[in-house]
Every structure is written in structure tokens, then in C-alpha cells.
Structure 1
Amino acid sequence: MRITGLASGMDINQIMKDLMRAERMPLDKLTQQRQTLEWQRDSYREMNLLLTKFRDNIFDGVMRRANMTSKAVISSNSAKVTATASATASNATYNIQRVDRLASAAYNSSAESISNGEKIDPSKSLRSMKGNLADFDWVKENVTGEEIQVNNAGTRFKLQNGGISDITAIKVDGVEFSVFTNAADYNNSGDTNKVLVNQDTGDLTFNKQLSKGSLIAADYSYEYVEFGITTHTSKGPVEATFKINANESLNDVITKINNSKLGLNAFYDEHTDKITMTRKETGNFNTNGENPTTGVKETGGYEIDFTESVFLTNVLKFDQTNEQGGENAQFTINGLATERPTNTFTVNGVTITLKDTFTDGAVNLTVNTDTQKIFDTIKAFVDEYNEMIDTINGKLKEEKYRDYKPLTKEEREALSEREAEQWEEKAKSGMLRNDQMLSSGLNRLRVDIYTPVAVGENAPFKQLTDLGITTTSNYMDRGKLQINEDKLRAAIEQDPEAVFQIFAADGPTNADKGIARRMRDSLATTRDQVVSRAGAEGRLNHQFTLGRNISSLDDRISNFERRLQQVEDRHWRQFTAMEKAMQQANSQAEFLYSHLFGSQQ
């Protein structure tokens, strides 16, 4: 903080501000130039995003066969049979004379209630619920020297297994701890080293904090039950074995089954106290032991096989003979009696879904060109093209207000927020006015649209006008397109493939390429030119023209600011010297005055 003007009585601070304002005028111009370049860069990038979006949408729109040769299927009775068709499907009619049987999935359920007396709680451990289930034997496994590395100091740790039956020893860094499985005994014990073991979860709670790096070693036994299931699927037999620890619940068992590769959906029904398993796939995939006449599986041939699993058959009460096997759908199509393992299947690109059985009143499926979808795809292309060129032409014609420069800091502070916004809006206007790069890009697109496509002499359509798509009669629209809807629909119905080729044909020369393919190439060229000038998000300044210009201005601004600081320091030194000189002169005057006139008093 400087206190000035005491000797001279001059407002030095204001004088300095006025002096430096004049000195800063060239810097303000440099800063305004930099801001203008940044606005121009941002305007280019905005146009580039527009070009890129249109280019991407061309590929996802009129260049996709699925959109441009789309088929629609009409069902005479959609309550019984529905269908969809791929773009490759032929226009045809399919007659479903009858559906004798729908495909179904194999399933099996507990033959009786699984609980003995009090109903089981499926969320509690099997060990705690064992008295509520049919008797079964646990398998016991001994674990010797299981090690737990203490990565963070603490008192609570966990063994790898739950359902623990016996604890032989627990040591920490070779020191043995007294083991308790009862909280009361643990709390009442005066042992120096002790640990409480939760047999259900395998949690260990020590009476002292174990330091980081310590090693816990445990010898114990845990209990589990094991069972296996085999399912027969469209890809062949699938086997899975399940190991269930005593601390796991019935819900855990069901979750493991559902998450396995078996393709089953199992659940426990609390009302009936039974478990059901249903194969996710419909159809019959195991005909072993099936009576060819009746279709009944007399021996073997089950699709969900667990006959040798004691836990499933004795505890969860599954009886293999109760299985309801999956069945194939049986139907007659175009006079051919056939079957499928699912109710949804594909014939010649037509995906048919059987929804109900019937033996009279045939259902006709008619496959036709989806004129509406193709029309909507082309219309979306035209609308987006018109929107894009309208936006770009607006930028090319935008008024340039040369009297409105970017605001300096002082100028902005002198205006209200609303006034600053209005000023800046005019200052930004016209950044791309009459830009040759964008104008050339639009001209290339117009040439792409008007040039016929070399699709062969016999092709019914060779250019957009043949489809009823032309430029508007208003020259002010600057090349916007309009659609004769009746003519376009007629062209689509006449030959949708030929319409598709007008847009998406490919070949070695530009004349051989469809309009959409040409436009994508032209858009890519314009986009690359814009990126070369204005860069893209994430690019460094030295990688594009405007960026290099901005960096050059940054260097000039930095150098000028450094020189301004030197000028300001020089002025302050000069004013300080003046103040000192005037102070000295004042002191001398007072001294003379006191000597000349002081004695006369």
C-alpha cells in the first residue's frame, strides 16, 4: 500500500491510474484479439459437432439396411400368433393351420412339506434349522494351519469357512490363545490371551488388538453338505455340484442354484412349504427312456436330474418321478406338421411367436415392405439435413458488428450484467460470416445430392428427384430439401432395395457411391479442415491454426504485461523522487523561515 502526495498535495494514485490506462491500451487490444480468436474457435467447434452428429446419424439411418428395407408382418389373429421380420425376409404369406401344443419348460417341486413340525425359516442357517428338517448327516472337513495375515491392526477377523464344529487351536505369531464359543464364558474368563469364535459365521474376536503384520494360524473342523444337479438343455447336459456350509441358509442354497450354469429358476414357497425348480429353457431335450408312442418318460430321461442327491431327495423332498418334462411346440405351417423347442422361432427371416393353441381358424402372417418405417427414416434424414444447413447458413450470414469489441475488465465493470450480456452477444456475432471453408463444405454436399448414382441402366431410380425429393423453390432456403410424400411412398413400395441403393450404394468412384456415402465423405473432409483450423476438445494449441495464434498472443500479452510492470515501477520511482525532493524543499523553506523570522518574535 502506497501513501502518496503528502508533500506535493497531488493525487498520485489517480495520476498513475490515468497514465497506466493509456499504457495498457495496446494490451487491451491484444486481449480483445485473443478473445475474438477464442470465440471463433468455439464457433467452429460448434459447427463441427453439428457436422459430426449428422454424419453419424446418416450411418445409423439411411445407410442401415435394417431401416431402409424393413419388413412389417400383419397377423390375421394376433391373439394366437404374432411375427416380426428381418430386412432380409422376402415378401410372403405364412399360413399357420393349427397349434396343437405350446412349448413348456421342465419343472419339479417338493413332493411334500419340507419342514418337520415348526416351519423352517429360509433365512437362518441350515445348522440352526436342522431340527426342522428331515435328518441328514453333515460331512466334516478338517482344516490345519489356516493362516490369516493381519493387514490392519484390530481385534476382529474371519476364518475362511463358517459352520464350524470343532476348534483345535488358534495361535497368533506362535502364541496360543484360549478358545471360547460362548460369549458368557469368554467374558468371565481371566485368561491373558483369549478369542471368541462364532461357529456359524467363523468370526474371531480377540481380547487384545493384534498389530499389523501379525499372523493368525487356526486348526478347526467345519461341516457341509454336498449335492449335484444335471439339467438337459439345447446345448446338451449341464452338470453342477454345490457345497453348502452349515452356516448357509436355504435362501443361500436357492441363490446358488439360480446363479449357476444349470439354467434353473428355483424358489421356496412359504405357503406350501415346498421348493420348486423350473428350467428356464422350454422344450424337450432328453428323450432317453421315453415311450415313443405315449411320450411318457418311463425310465430315466429326466430333464432335471438329482436322483442320487440325498439332500435334495430326503431333505428337500424332491421325487424324480414328479417331474413335469418340457415339451416342444407342435404346429402346422403351410401344410407341414412340425415342432420347435420354443414358442418363438425363425423361418426365412420371419420370427414367429405362438401365443395360444388352436385347431381351427388358421392364422395368416403376411410379410410386406414396412413403407412407413422406411419413409420415416428418409424424412428424418431430410429434416436433419435441412436443420444442419439452416444452422450453418445462419452462421455464414450472421451480421458482424465491428463497433462491438470484446469488453475489457474495466468496461465490463462499468456495465450491468444484462448490458454486458447484450454487448457480448453482438461482439460474438459474425464470427463465421462468409467463411469459405464452411461454404465449400455445403457446396460439396449439394453436388453430392444432385449428382446421379451409377446403379445400372435398368435401375428404376438414379437420383433423389426420382424419389420425390427436390430442393425448395425459394432460393433464400439455400438448398433445403422438400419431399413429395406420395411419390416417395410409391417409390418405396415399388422397389425398396433400389431406394436403399440410391443412398448406400458403394463403388470405386464417387459416381458409383450412394448419396449418403458421398455426403459422409464430404462431411469428413469438412470436419478435418475445421479440426485443422480450430482443433477439437482436448487438443493442445500447437496442434491447430487458431490455437497457435492464441498461444502467440499469450506470449505477446505476457511480454507486454512484464513491460507494463517495468513502466509502472519507473513511474512510481519518479513520483517518489519528486515527493522526496519537494519534502526536502519544504523542510529547507521551513528552516530558513525559522531563522529569518523566528528572532523577530
Structure 2
Amino acid sequence: MSSVSGIRLPGLATGMDTEAMVKEMLTGEQNKIDKVKQKEQTVKWQQEIYREVIKDINGFQDKYFSLSSKNSILNSSAWNTLTVNSSNSNIITATGTAGANSVNYKFEIGKLAQPARATSSVEISNGSKTSLKELGLPSEGKFKIELGTDEKGETIYSKEITIMSEATYKKGNGDAIINPEGGFKDEDGNKVDENGFLLDEKNEKIVEFEADTIDSLVKKINDVSEGKVKASYSDMTGKFTIESSKTGASSGFKIVGTDGNDSDVLDFLGLQGNSKSNKFMGSNAEIKVESKDGSFSKVLNEEINSFTIDGIKYDIHAVGTSEITSKQDVQPVIDNMKSFVEDYNKIIDKMYDMITQKQNRDYPPLTEAQKKDMSKEEIESWEKKAKVGLLRNDSEMRRFMDDMQKAIFGDNMSILNETGLTSHEDYTKKGQIALDEDKFRKALESDTDKVYEMFAKDSSSVMESMKSTMNKYVGGSSSVFAKKAGLEKTASAANNFYSEQLKRQAETIKMLQRKMSNKENDLYKKFGSLEASMNKLNSQMNYFAQM
């Protein structure tokens, strides 16, 4: 094409297809760009594959290493081999933990553990908006709440609370001065009354602090008690209540003055409750436990309504009688371990394929020109083959597999083998583990607590070691895989090995495209000059032909 006023036109004078000729002349430059784009696409795929692996490992950790997961293998209840039943779950329920003893008892709940509680006895006629003055607060009152003692035995107090029966008003700066224009003003010129209180546009005193109500009393107590006590008002009962967050005889609180001595500042509410020496006290749960044959009987006094004895966690819900029985059932533990092994092996199998598969050099990433001649299905099939072997012999993934083997077996190979956990015997399943169900079952039936101690009890256990090793590779923006491919929603997402490569390749592509564009413009200028010369020559020939 020739160029006229910046618009490229076909070679009308020369009869040449200048556009096709320029495109042909730029083939070398386009090939250079395509090669860098293919390399760029390869790196994108490598990063995507890596991030899929990271996602798989994180999913595995969330499923088995999170204590809140129903499949958690770190939770002691995951190693419980006792099925515990209650004859009346409305009264009491129980669950076993690892190493729990068998139970067969009758429980008689005489009393639930209660928090310390103080409840108003006066009539609160207007609900939570009732003013404290209306209830009998004579004037301003200051108090604190004694909340218990700390680890050193020193008394803990809330911050000071001030309550007022009357609103207070804002004072102006200095004395009231007669205003020549009428009324009074302060030294700053603000409108005040004769007593120096600031006035608003309606000549009403500006409130600094409102008179307190039940609502504001509740808020003030809750704001300073650090969650150790809670104040509330019930529209249903019409009662104001202060209640400790903990239950049991050791829980309690007291209303005291700013000096720490007993205070009567809230007496106008008529607070009532289980109290001793003006201190409101909680109470323990009372539970009578008997064996079925009557050979054993004991009364439990528990501070809270959820407690653990002999590996059994009990939760009491109401007063009454219920029987708690148990039987050994190791199958749920076996099933969860089987699932754990299968899911772990899927990750390792996937990684082993990635680092051992050979790359097919006949299937490089497609160029845009190649894609135009292919269907969507053909492109997908090609790219599936092109992605194979991109992480062959990846050193980080190989180290991960090796480190996981050390984390699992370490110096415990023989002990773990006795419990049924071994390295997979199939050489094509490198890095995978195998579970002998019969051995594992016998180990659980023989000594569940010993198995739990080996697998998951503390930081030296197999599972904790696996978790720690996985965290080393995917546990944050500074982990091994994050530095390689980046973790989404962290600083490493854009700051990693592959992303840095992609940035350099993008810069190279821009540089090559600029060079190609400059060469293309030069070629069109030359063809434009040729076109102009041919036009001039044709004009001259036409002139001579007419002579």
C-alpha cells in the first residue's frame, strides 16, 4: 500500500499488492514475536499448574489439619474409638476423645452450673428508656465493678462508671458578659445565659451529657467490663440484669466505689441474687454418678456445664436423670485415615506425573494465526498436549516430595509400619503411602492412645510434622511454592519467579512490536515513494502519447 495523508492505499499505479508484500517482508519480525509469546504462554501455564498444586495442598490442609473441620485428623476426637450414647440427650450428652475409657453410668443432674447474677427488683415502667432518676437515683453516682482476681491474686476492677440523674450542660468560656445587642455572651463571643451556659439557636441550653437511663447504664457497664460481666435489660420480664461470663462458685462480681470499698450507688435498682458479703456469686453444677450395679457412687461439683473425665467430654443441659453407655468402634477412625491416605496420594501422584512426564516438542503453544484456522475443540486438544511435561524435573516439587517422606517416616519407620502405615511398594507410585487396614485396626483396638500419640498428639507427631512441612511450601508469601508461582491474595501473587519472567517477556514483546511497527512504516513509505514515482512516469507517458 502507498500512504497518502497517513492513509494506506493499494498500489494503483504499480499494480503491486503492497500489503501482501509488506506482510511477507515482516515475516521474520513476526516469527520473533510469536516465539517470545509462545515462551510467555509456556510460563503462564507453568504458573497455573503450580497454583493448582498449591490449591490442592491448601485444600488438603483445610480438610485434615484444621481443628474446625469435621475431617480434622489433628483433633483428639478424630482418634476416639468409643461410641458414647445418652438415654436422654436433653439432660446430658457425651463424646469420647482419644484414649477414652469405657463408661456405663447413671447420671442424676441436680443442678446446673450458674453464673453470678444480679437482677433488679424495682418496677421499670417505661422499659429500657426509663430514666435512672425516675427509679430513684438521687444525683450523680460513681462506681466500679470488682471482677475477680488475676494470676497474681490481685483484684481486677472495671474502669470507673459515672451515672447521672440530671443532664449536664456545656459552659461557655469565662463569665457571662452582657451583650449590647441583647442577652449575654462569653469571652469568645458565644451566646450564653446569665449563668454562662451555652445556648443554641432556640436559646436553649446545649446538653453536654444526657441524664442516664437503663439503656445508657447497660452500655456503660458493657463498655468497661472487658466481657467479664454483661449487663442487659429484658422487655419480656422488665428486669435489668448483670451477669458474669463464667459459671461456677469461683465466679462473682461486686459493685464498689471508686476507692474499692462496698458501694450503694445501684441500691435504687433493688439488685437481688445469690450473694455473700455484697458479692454476687455463681454456683457449681451438682451431679450424682452411679454405676449400674451400685458398686460405685460419686457426687461431682463442676464449675462449668461442660467437662471431661477419663477422656469423655460431658455436656449437661438440664436437671434430670440419664444413662451414659459406650462401646468400642474403631471403624470411623479407620475410614478417616483411609480417606486421608487416598487424598494425600492423589496430590503426590499428580506431582510425580508432572515431574516425570516428557514434554512433547511437537506441540508448542499455538500462535494467534494458527488458532484462526482451528476449531475450539482442536485448540483445547492441542493445548492439553502442549501442557504435558512443562514441569519435568522441577527441583522444588522433587524436594517437596522428599521432604514429605522425611516428615512422615523420619526415625519412626519401623513403629509406623507396625501400625500399618508404610511407603507404597509400587515403584510407579513414588512418594505415596499405604495403609494396612488390619494392622491399623489391631493397633487401635490394642492401644488407641498410643496410636494417637504417634500420629497426632503433639508437635513431634506424624501429622504435625506433615503440616509443618506443607506450611514450609505453601504456608504464606515467603513459602517455597509462593516464591516460585505466587499465592493468590498475598504480596507474592505478583512478586514471584514466574511473574518476573512474564514481566521480562512482556517487555521483550513490546520492544519487538515497536521494531516491527517502525520497519512496517519504513516499508510503506518506500512503497509510497515508488507509487508516487510511477504516477509521475505514467503522467509523462500519457503526455507524450497525446502529442
Shift of the 174–406 alpha-carbon distance from structure 1 to 2, 3 Å rule, reads farther
Q: Pick from 249, 255, 270: which aligns with 2:219?
A: 255
Q: Pick from 437, 440, 452: which aligns with 1:488?
A: 440
Asked whether the equivalents of residues 483 and 492 of structure 2 are also in contact (C-alpha less than 8 Å), the reply is no
Give the letter aligned to residue 313 of structure 1: D
Secondary structure at 1:113's aligned position in 2? Answer: coil
Give the letter aligned to residue 178 of structure 1: K
1:19 is the counterpart of 2:25: yes
Secondary structure at 1:571's aligned position in 2? Answer: helix
Q: Higher Cα Rg: structure 1 or 2?
A: 1
Q: Pick from 175, 190, 196: which aligns with 1:177?
A: 190
1:328 is the counterpart of 2:284: yes
> Share of identical aligned residues, percent?
21
Q: How many residues align?
A: 481
Asked whether the equivalents of residues 114 and 282 of structure 2 are also in contact (C-alpha less than 8 Å), the reply is yes
Give the letter aligned to residue 588 of structure 1: Q
**Partner residue in 1 for 2:342:** 383
Residue pairs, 1:119-130, within 5 angstroms:
119-123=125-129, 126=131
**Partner residue in 2 for 1:589:** 541
**Partner residue in 2 for 1:28:** 34
Residue pairs, 1:567-578, within 5 angstroms:
567-578=519-530
Secondary structure at 2:129's aligned position in 1? Answer: coil
Shift of the 100–419 alpha-carbon distance from structure 1 to 2, 3 Å rule, reads closer
Query: How far apart, in 2, do the equivalents of 1:167 and 1:441 lie?
Result: 71
Give the letter aligned to residue 585 of structure 1: L
**Partner residue in 2 for 1:234:** none
Residue pairs, 1:143-542, within 5 angstroms:
164=167, 169=172, 174-179=187-192, 195-196=201-202, 202=208, 245-246=210-211, 248-261=212-225, 263-269=229-235, 273-285=238-250, 312-314=266-268, 316-318=269-271, 326-333=282-289, 334-337=296-299, 339-347=301-309, 350-357=312-319, 363=323, 371-392=330-351, 395=354, 402-413=361-372, 418-419=376-377, 421-422=379-380, 425-426=383-384, 428-432=386-390, 435=393, 437=395, 444=402, 454=412, 461-463=415-417, 467=420, 471=424, 483=435, 485-500=437-452, 503=455, 531=481, 534-537=484-487
Give, in angstroms, the shift of residue 179 of structure 1: 4.8
Cα deviation code 1:294-342 (max 9, x no counterpart): xxxxxxxx9765898666434x344689999644333445544453343
Query: How far apart, in 2, do the equivalents of 1:258 and 1:518 lie?
Result: 43
Query: How far apart, in 2, do the equivalents of 1:14 and 1:341 lie?
Result: 90
Query: How far apart, in 1, do the equivalents of 2:464 and 2:428 lie?
Result: 27
Secondary structure at 2:101's aligned position in 1? Answer: coil
Secondary structure at 1:18's aligned position in 2? Answer: helix
Shift of the 173–583 alpha-carbon distance from structure 1 to 2, 3 Å rule, reads farther
Shift of the 283–582 alpha-carbon distance from structure 1 to 2, 3 Å rule, reads closer
Give, in angstroms, the shift of residue 372 of structure 1: 4.2
Give, in angstroms, the shift of residue 463 of structure 1: 0.8
**Partner residue in 2 for 1:217:** none
Shift of the 258–71 alpha-carbon distance from structure 1 to 2, 3 Å rule, reads farther
Query: How far apart, in 2, do the equivalents of 1:83 and 1:57 lie?
Result: 24
Asked whether the equivalents of residues 247 and 283 of structure 2 are also in contact (C-alpha less than 8 Å), the reply is yes
Asked whether the equivalents of residues 266 and 277 of structure 1 are also in contact (C-alpha less than 8 Å), the reply is yes
**Partner residue in 2 for 1:82:** 93
Secondary structure at 2:314's aligned position in 1? Answer: strand
Moved more, 577-586 or 432-441: 432-441
Give the letter aligned to residue 490 of structure 1: K
Shift of the 198–285 alpha-carbon distance from structure 1 to 2, 3 Å rule, reads farther
Asked whether the equivalents of residues 401 and 426 of structure 1 are also in contact (C-alpha less than 8 Å), the reply is no
Give the letter aligned to residue 82 of structure 1: T
Residue pairs, 1:23-62, within 5 angstroms:
23-51=29-57, 54=60
Give the letter aligned to residue 406 of structure 1: P
Shift of the 85–565 alpha-carbon distance from structure 1 to 2, 3 Å rule, reads same
Give, in angstroms, the shift of residue 365 of structure 1: 6.0
1:64 is the counterpart of 2:26: no
Secondary structure at 2:7's aligned position in 1? Answer: coil
**TM-score normalised to the size of structure 2?**
0.66
Asked whether the equivalents of residues 356 and 392 of structure 2 are also in contact (C-alpha less than 8 Å), the reply is yes
Give, in angstroms, the shift of residue 110 of structure 1: 3.8
Secondary structure at 2:33's aligned position in 1? Answer: helix
Asked whether the equivalents of residues 43 and 502 of structure 2 are also in contact (C-alpha less than 8 Å), the reply is yes
Give the letter aligned to residue 191 of structure 2: S
Query: How far apart, in 2, do the equivalents of 1:400 and 1:588 lie?
Result: 64
Give the letter aligned to residue 364 of structure 2: K
1:138 is the counterpart of 2:104: no
**TM-score normalised to the size of structure 1?**
0.61
Query: How far apart, in 1, do the equivalents of 2:55 and 2:201 lie?
Result: 66
Shift of the 400–51 alpha-carbon distance from structure 1 to 2, 3 Å rule, reads same
1:111 is the counterpart of 2:121: yes
Give, in angstroms, the shift of residue 24 of structure 1: 1.8
Cα deviation code 1:274-308 (max 9, x no counterpart): 4344444444459xxxxxxxxxxxxxxx9765898
Give, in angstroms, the shift of residue 72 of structure 1: 4.0
Give the letter aligned to residue 329 of structure 1: A
Cα deviation code 1:517-562 (max 9, x no counterpart): 7867987899899849944345599964x66765665565455434
Query: How far apart, in 2, do the equivalents of 1:162 and 1:276 lie?
Result: 20
Shift of the 530–339 alpha-carbon distance from structure 1 to 2, 3 Å rule, reads closer
Shift of the 455–531 alpha-carbon distance from structure 1 to 2, 3 Å rule, reads closer
Give the letter aligned to residue 374 of structure 1: V
Asked whether the equivalents of residues 399 and 433 of structure 1 are also in contact (C-alpha less than 8 Å), the reply is no
Cα deviation code 1:184-208 (max 9, x no counterpart): xx9xxxxxx9734765855xxxxxx
Cα deviation code 1:207-246 (max 9, x no counterpart): xxxxxxxxxxxxxxx6xxxxxxxxxxxxxxxxxxxxxx41
Secondary structure at 2:189's aligned position in 1? Answer: strand
Secondary structure at 1:375's aligned position in 2? Answer: helix
- Kindly report the root-mean-square deviation, in angstroms, between the aligned alpha carbons of the 2 structures: 5.3
Give, in angstroms, the shift of residue 468 of structure 1: 7.5
